[in-house]
Amino acid sequence: MLVVGLLYYCIGYTGYISTLTWNGTDIEKLHVGLANYVAALQDPVFWKALFHTVVYFVTTFVIQTALGVFFALLLHSRVRLGALYKIILFVPVVLAPAVMAPVFRQVFAADGQFNFVLDHIGLSSLAQPWLAQSSTALPVIMSITIWEWTGLTFILYYAAMGQIEPEMLEAARLDGAGNGRVLWSIIWPSLRGTTTALLMLSAISALKTFDIPYLVTVGGPNYSTEFLGTLIYRQSIPQSNVGYGAALSILLLILALGLAIVLQLVGRERKN
């Protein structure tokens, strides 16, 4: 009860701060009403961050789901050294982003290992400064996320596939269903619950994204990897616009609540 109360107090206090022009430490606080919200809605960087969040969510969710299902199917068949592959797939999930960020900065640098590999497999024309270009920085961030979280998606799908009745699959086979048909008509519908859960997790994760974009690219270059989380941090901490940062936080909360309601409604409709 105390924790819940504290949580709502914090939300309320953030709401109060969002009506101030305040640097976070000064005694003097200037009340500006809803001006911070108006400024946020007129801020092109805010809309850019929102757009990145949507692109990031859709791309990472689709690719992670496809890879997760693929690896789960693969490892449910008889593969040698299956346990080893499971470990390899899951290891990125437990590695701390703060530890991996400098590694990725080096790997994707202009003189980094990724370009080195491209040079040595005859694809030197594709080598480029991946993190230094607006056009490639966001895809790199998304690929890191996919690398990091596919292991979790795989594990959940792997577990879900283990729950499918073998008799059902055998019956389908006896009825003459091929691999594609079995996947599409039996396995995939059985994974709907897992997919819905992953959809919600991915959506929440996309809204909260902060660590990898901030640690690898600091939101740049030119805001090309700016997300709501990094924008809130940039405004609240380095730029000392705590009031504005609080307004962005409240907008993020509204978005998260809106998304949760939509997902709930969609879930209910499907159940009905």
The residues of the shown chain that bind another protein, judged by CB under 8 A, are 23-28, 105, 108-111, 128-134, 137, 217-218, 220-223, 237-241
Query: In whole angstroms, what is the distance from residue 256 CA to residue 236 CA?
Result: 20
Least gap, CB of 128 to another protein (angstroms): 8
Shortest Å, Cβ 139 to another protein: 13
Torsion sign (Cα): 249, 250, 252, 257: positive
DSSP notation for 146-209: HHHHHHHHHHHHHHHHHTS-HHHHHHHHHTT--HHHHIIIIIHHHTHHHHHHHHHHHHHHHHH-
| Token pair belonging to 156 | 């959940």
Residue placing its CB nearer to another protein in the complex, 48 or 86: 48
Considering the complex, state which of residue 137 and residue 198 has its C-beta at the smaller distance from another protein: 137
Neighbours of 72 (CB within 10 A): 23
Task: Please report how close the Cβ of residue 27 comes to another protein at its closest, in angstroms.
Answer: 6
Amino acid, single-letter form, for residue 85: Y
Tell me, letter by letter, the H, E, C secondary structure of 126-154. HCCCHHHCHHHHHHHHHHHHHHHHHHHHH
Q: Are 191 and 160 in contact (CB under 8 A)?
A: yes
Residues 6+ apart with CB under 8 A from 145: 56, 60, 209, 212
Nearer to another protein by Cβ, of 1 and 174: the residue is 1
Minimum distance, C-beta of residue 108 to another protein, in the bound complex (Å): 8
Return the sign of the alpha-carbon dihedral for residues 218, 45, 62, 93: positive
Cis peptide before 213 (omega within 30 of 0): no
- Which of residues 27 and 174 has its CB atom nearest to another protein in the complex? 27
Residue 131 or 198 having the CB closest to another protein: 131
Q: How far is CA 76 from the centre of its chain?
A: 27
Q: How far is the CB of 14 from another protein (least distance, A)?
A: 15
Between 58 and 218, name the residue whose CB sits nearer to another protein: 218
Beta bridge partners of 30: 21
CB closer to another protein, 237 vs 266: 237
To another protein, the closest distance from the beta carbon of 153 in angstroms equals 29
Structure token pair of residue 124: 């030197």
Shortest distance in whole angstroms from residue 147 CB to another protein: 18
In whole angstroms, how close is the CB of 253 to another protein at the nearest point? 21
**SS3 for 21?**
strand
Whose Cβ is closer to another protein: residue 24's or residue 267's? 24
